[in-house]
Structures are given as structure tokens and as C-alpha cells.
Chain A
Amino acid sequence: MSKHLRWFIWLLVGSAGALALATIALHRGEEINALWLVVAAVCTYALAYRFYSAFISAKVLALDPMRATPAERLEDGRDFVPTNKWVVFGHHFAAIAGPGPLVGPVLAAQFGYLPGTLWILAGAVFGGCVQDFVILLFSVRRNGKSLTAMARDEIGKIGGFVAYVSVLAIIVILLGVAALIVVNALKGSPWGTFTIAMTIPIALLMGWYLRRLRPGKVLETSALGFLLVILAIFGGQWVSQNSHIAPWFTLSASTLAIVIIVYGYAASAMPVWLLLAPRDYLSTFVKLGTIALLALGILALHPVLHMPPLTRFIDGSGPVFAGNVFPFAFITIACGAISGFHSLISSGTTPKLIRRETEARMVGYGAMMAESMVAIMATIAACVMQPGIYFSINSPAGIVGQTPEAAAATITNWGFPASAADMHALALAVGEQTLYNRTGGAPAFAVGMAHIFSNSLGGQAVMAVWYHFAIMFEALFILTVLDAGTRVGRFMVQDALAHVWKPFGRTSWYPSVLATSALIVGAWGYFLWQGVKDPLGGINSLWPLFGIANQLLATVALCVATTIVIKMGRVRYAWVTLMPLVWLVAVTFTASWHKIFDVNPRIGFLAHARTVTNPRLIFNDCLDAWVTGILIFLVTLILFESAKEWMRVLSGKKAARVSEAPFVMTAFVEEA
């Protein structure tokens, strides 16, 4: 293709993207088609990948196709395996895509579709993709070292300690809020509860089938598990209509919370092959299929967005969570824009599979673009609903009122027409008693997804099945994160306690396993219980706390990345990682300040503590304020340590030495 033709094509892509972005940003008073969001996203990603990631590859990281990666140098057929770039891309994407990019954008839709969409696009191409890419490459150049190890090597012991505590904190808070989302989706829903309950025996059966009948046939086993889950969805419909059995599965939020806590503890102590591994396979199978199906559904139906670009709630008075569009939209949407959690995966399995340095660009930058696209689809799913329905589902009873009539009146009064009769009809259409007070994002996403699916496949008659398919999909996702996260947290605690007493570090020593599992489950279980008992629905307090923790971990990752870029002698390009770092510091520090000290009791933990009399609620508020304060203190510490390191290197007091593995020529030199 000639140079001129290439430039002409890129000019067309740029023009289409600019037109789509202008339509999204400037249209007022008229509904727009969801395809504008898709066009804007695709063009933005294409341009960012072609030009910005190429710039980072060439100028900042100087990717070297001649340099052997650890997958080649340390190949052992187990952990280090040179793997095809598309395979690594799929593997990496499957690990980074979780419930976050689906839930965050749904919650942030209370501001309208515009703030979330712009943040997802800008945050991803300038922040999230950059973070995932540079951390992946730096880990590749350090034999696949973890983020914590890189922080210790490049910034010092304090850096390593802060990274460790941040990871543990984010795991605990994430698991608490994730479990709360499941509770809010399943409370009073015999259909949903039965379907999800069935995934446990299905996973156990898969574990047995894999080990005894068809060893190693994971894809076949996952497909069978998927068919059983589909049967469980139809079984759930029968259960919900059976007056004798339905009450067994109609559980209150408190009962569900206890069940999930007990489940989390049991799952953490069970053999991996029996429950965790098959459940993980089943969840991945459903996840990849459903995301592809949702993308096809949006393209086929190309629905109209009923949510306005901006709502009145940008002033901070939103019912889903309180707080102004800045900074709260930016901590509510983490995965999908920038997520610190990804840096753990970019410095985990993936760097050990990369065959050539140059492929880190497609895997690191590219997979994050794909995840960002998932977040755009979630935004669309939330915004195709009538705003009155969206707010009826997502608003806690403490804000809109206890009865359907009161809720409808409050929401209509906000300017979003809603009626109790319409909500009742919708609840019946999706096979539920009620859809009010279902905070957490998952039910709203499920309604949006069911709307898209049923309109493009099957019609209104199967809306209930699609709704419960979506609920199953999200809950399965989340419970897998719960299983895996509890174990990862347990391993981290065991690792730390081994410094106190060696036997604690033995991952197969049952007293240690049970004690450390109890510690982790107790920690996230407390946050879950706190959320269930919160009169404002729990999400209002816990999701921002999770967002802050996640973005603070991204701050740690970007501190490490900036330090390495400076030590590489590329200080003139340090802005590439410094720019998202400065933005995240501004966002997280502002959000933390508001969450602790804001005088509005719906925002500030301490202000809320002053308005309640129940000692437990006061304690919870103070605990949340302390957790936020400690996280901010730790990140201030790593910022300070990083800045000191930068100054020492830049002033020449310290030699600019990076701890990379020595250069070895690749054997794939012919391809390079």
C-alpha cells in the first residue's frame, strides 16, 4: 500500500472518530444511537494503537526485537514458554477482564453517558494501556518479576512494603464489595439464587469429570459445564414458580451474606482441582462467550441511548453513589480505563510467555484496549434503559423511599419519569418479584443486557431467561474472583507470617491454612456485612473505597514505571507515565479527602458518623475513614520515596542503574 493511501486511510479514521466524539459530546436534547459510541471507541483505539503505542515502543521503551525474552532464555516448558502473540493476548485478556469493567460504567451512568465514555476512552489510551504495557515490558526485562519485587528493587524497601500492603488492601476491599454485588443481585430472587447455587455442584462435577473420566480435556468439560448451567437457568425458572421450593431459595440479604462468607471460607480450604480450577474454567468459558455475544447484540440491534449525556447528578447528589463528577466518576470506573490490579497480571504469568519484546505492545497495550471496549459496551447496556428504570433499580430505599409508589414519585420528581406499574411489569417480565433497591450495578446491567439480547434474539418472551443468564454470568464471574482472591490473599498473609514463624509459610499445613483463610475471609466478610447493613445500600461507601484502593495501586505501578524510565536515561519521555500518575494522584487524593472529611454525610465518612446513633454504624464509618487515610498515607510515602530516587538520579548523586537481566541475543533472529 502506498504511503499516501495509508495516510488517507488514517485521516478517514481520525475524521470518523472526531465526528463520533463530537456527536457524543455536543448532542443535547436528542437521543443518540449507541453506534456513535462504538465508532468513537474503535477509531480512538485504532489511532492510539497505531501512533501512541508505536511512539512509546520506539522512543520510551526502545523495544528490541534482537533481545531474548525470559520465555526464551529460561524456557522450562512449565512457567517460561515462548508463546504465539495472539495466544498470549487471549490469555492476558482472559485474566484482566472481570466484573469491574461491567459494574463501574453502569454505576457511573448516573452522571449520563458522556463523562463515563470520555473517561473510558482517554483513561485507557493515555493511562491504563500505558500502565499495562510498560509494566509488562519492565517485568519481561527482569525475568518476569512481580510488581512488588520491582518496587523493592527500583524504589527501595519502602516501595516494596507499600506495594505489598496496597495489594492486600485492594484484595480485601474488592472481595467485600464484589460479594455485596452478588448479595444485592440475588436477595429475594429464588431463580437467581438457585442458578448460582447450582454452579457449585456443577463445578464439583466438572472437577471429578476432569480428574477421573477425561483427564486434561478442559475445553470439553467447560462446554459440558456450560450446558449444565443453562439447564440450571431453566431449572431456576421452575423453582421460582413452585410455591413449595421457591421459599427455600428466597433469601434475605443477611442470610445470603452469611452463606457467601461460609462458602468463601470452605472454597479457600478445599483442594484447588475440586472447586477453584473447574469454576475458573467455567467462568472463563461463559465470560468470553458472553462478551462476544454482547458485542454482536449491540452491532445487530444498534440501540438508542435513552440516558441523557449529562444528568443533574454531576453536582454530587446522585442516588447511586454521592459525589461530584470530579473525582468520583474517575474512581468509579477503574477497570476499563485504568486499573492498578492489571499491573499484577502484567507482572505475573504474561511476561513469562512473551516470545519477543516487540510483542509486548500488542499484548499489554492491545488487551487493555479490548477491556476498555467491554466497558463501553457496559455503558451502552446501562444507557439503553429509560433513565427512570435505571434509577429505580440502582437507588437504595434510604434515598428514594421504601415503597414502589414513593420511589416512583421521587425519581419522577428528579425529571426521570418512572411508574410503579411499569417497574412491576418489568420485574414480572424478567421473572422477579421486584427490581427496586437492587444497588450494585449487576441487576441494572442484566436488565440492559437482557433488553439487547431479547430484542436481537428471541423477543420479549425470553427476556426473563436472558436476565437470569446475565445475572448468572456476573455472579459466576464474581464468585470466581472471590475464590481466587481469598486464596491469593491467604498466600500473601502466609508469606508474611513466615517471617514471624516458619511453619506459617507452609501452604499445605492445615492449621496455617485455616487460620489465614479465616483472617482473609473475616476481613472481606466484615466489609460485606457492613455493606448489607448500611441503610444507604453499601455500594455508596464501598465502591468508592474499592476505586480508591485500585487507583492507588495504579499509582504505585506508575511510580515504579516512571522510576525505571528515568533510570533508563529517558527522562525527556518520562511524561508518558508521569502524566497518568499526576492525574491519578489528583483524583485519588481529592476523592479520599472527600470520603473522609466532606461535610455532606452521604459523602464523608466522618460526617456520616456524626449523624447516626448506632455504635456499629459509627464504628464502620470510622473504620472506612481510617482505611482510606492509611492507604493515602502509604501512597504518599511511595510518591515521596520515588521522587527522592528521581532527584538522586537526575542530580547525579546516584548512578542511573536499572536491575534488568543482561542482554542475550534471541534465537528467533531470522524472524527479527
Chain B
Amino acid sequence: MRRAWQILVATLREIFDEAAYARFLGQDGQVTQESYAAFLRERETKLASKVKCC
């Protein structure tokens, strides 16, 4: 049950790009407005060109 919950949370974090931000920060990165802005800048093209199906 606990494992299923962990997987569900991990899936949601991946779908909603929280995991990508955590990877961007690395191990000792700080969650700040600046670091998030830098993350968004880096992902701008990727997010914008992400195909959404019909």
C-alpha cells in the first residue's frame, strides 16, 4: 500500500514537472524564485514544443 502511494506521488511529481525541477536543483540547490525562473527558462522551448494529443 505504501509502495503504491509512493509510486502515485512520484508519477504526479513527474507529470507536473516537480521531479524535473528537483533534478534541475541537484543535491544542494535552493528553492528560490531565481532558481525556478532559471529552470523555466531552460525548459521554455521544451515545454512549448511538448505535443499534446487530441
Binding site for B on A (CB under 8 A): 77-79, 81, 83-84, 86-91, 94-100, 174, 178, 210-212, 215-219, 222, 271-273, 276-277, 280-281, 284-285, 288, 334-335, 339, 341-342, 344-345, 348-349, 480-481, 484-485, 487-488, 491, 507, 546, 550
Q: Would you call B21 and A78 a contact (CB within 8 A)?
A: no
Q: Would you call B36 and A216 a contact (CB within 8 A)?
A: yes
Q: Would you call B21 and A216 a contact (CB within 8 A)?
A: yes
Q: Would you call B16 and A98 a contact (CB within 8 A)?
A: no
- Report how far A288 CA is from B12 CA in the complex, Å: 10
Q: Would you call B47 and A219 a contact (CB within 8 A)?
A: no
Q: Would you call A174 and B54 a contact (CB within 8 A)?
A: yes
Q: Would you call A216 and B44 a contact (CB within 8 A)?
A: no
Q: Would you call A90 and B14 a contact (CB within 8 A)?
A: yes
- Report how far A280 CA is from B43 CA in the complex, Å: 14
Q: Would you call B48 and A272 a contact (CB within 8 A)?
A: yes
Chain A residues with CB under 8 Å of B17's CB are 218, 281
> What residue in chain B is nearest A171 (Cβ atoms)?
B51
Chain B residues with CB under 8 Å of A98's CB are 52-54
Q: Would you call A277 and B40 a contact (CB within 8 A)?
A: yes
- Report how far A487 CA is from B24 CA in the complex, Å: 24
Q: Would you call A97 and B49 a contact (CB within 8 A)?
A: no
- Report how far A28 CA is from B14 CA in the complex, Å: 47
B15 to chain A minimum Cβ distance, whole angstroms, is 5
With A87-B10, A100-B54, A219-B16 as given contacts, are A491 and B49 in contact (CB-CB < 8 Å)?
Answer: yes
Chain B residues with CB under 8 Å of A211's CB are 33, 36-37, 40
| Contact residues, B6-26 vs A (CB, 8 A) | 7, 10-18, 20-24, 26
- Report how far A281 CA is from B22 CA in the complex, Å: 17
> What residue in chain A is nearest B4 (Cβ atoms)?
A86
- Report how far A510 CA is from B22 CA in the complex, Å: 31
> What residue in chain B is nearest A167 (Cβ atoms)?
B51
Q: Would you call B16 and A222 a contact (CB within 8 A)?
A: yes
B25 to chain A minimum Cβ distance, whole angstroms, is 8
Beyond A90-B12, A97-B53, A488-B48, list 7 extra A-B contacts (CB 8 Å): A79-B46, A84-B10, A88-B14, A98-B53, A341-B51, A507-B45, A507-B48
> What residue in chain A is nearest B10 (Cβ atoms)?
A87
Q: Would you call B54 and A210 a contact (CB within 8 A)?
A: no
Q: Would you call A491 and B33 a contact (CB within 8 A)?
A: no
Chain B residues with CB under 8 Å of A341's CB are 51, 53-54
> What residue in chain A is nearest B13 (Cβ atoms)?
A219
- Report how far A174 CA is from B14 CA in the complex, Å: 27
Which of B11, B37, B53 makes the CB contact (< 8 A) with A91? Answer: B11
